[in-house]
């Protein structure tokens, strides 16, 4: 029996990232269409409301995000677990520090 059967899953938790088991529990934060510095500013605000160790996928179309997001993680004490280019965008898996 699946763990979620018989109980309501919060709506924000329903959109999940495809990938490894470790990334399956991470919410997806769509930052597509935003340009520097907005992806980092929005990511900072979203991560501030999370517990240490929780993970979040960021999706962005900003070409500077490949520089800004890793730098933000280093400076803020978060762990950049994974990053890759997707069709027309970039995805980053961040674990809150």
Cα(first)–Cα(last) distance of the chain, in Å?
33
Residue 83 backbone dihedrals phi, psi, to 5 degrees: -150, 145
Residue 83 contacts residue 91 (beta carbons within 8 Å): yes
Annotation says 36 is catalytic: yes
How many residues are listed for the chain in this entry? 97
Q: Show the tokens assigned to 73.
A: 């993680």
- From the candidates 28, 34, 36, 66, which is the catalytic residue? 36
The residues assigned a catalytic role are 36
């Amino acid at each position: 029996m699946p763990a979620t059967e018989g109980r309501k899953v919060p709506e924000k938790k329903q959109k999940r990232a495809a990938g490894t088991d470790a990334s399956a529990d991470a919410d997806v934060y769509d930052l597509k269409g935003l340009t520097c510095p907005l992806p980092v500013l929005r990511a900072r605000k979203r991560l501030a409301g999370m517990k240490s160790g929780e993970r979040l996928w960021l999706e962005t179309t900003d070409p500077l995000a490949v520089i800004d997001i890793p730098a933000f993680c280093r400076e803020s004490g978060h762990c950049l677990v994974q990053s890759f280019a997707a069709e027309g965008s970039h995805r980053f898996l961040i674990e809150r520090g």
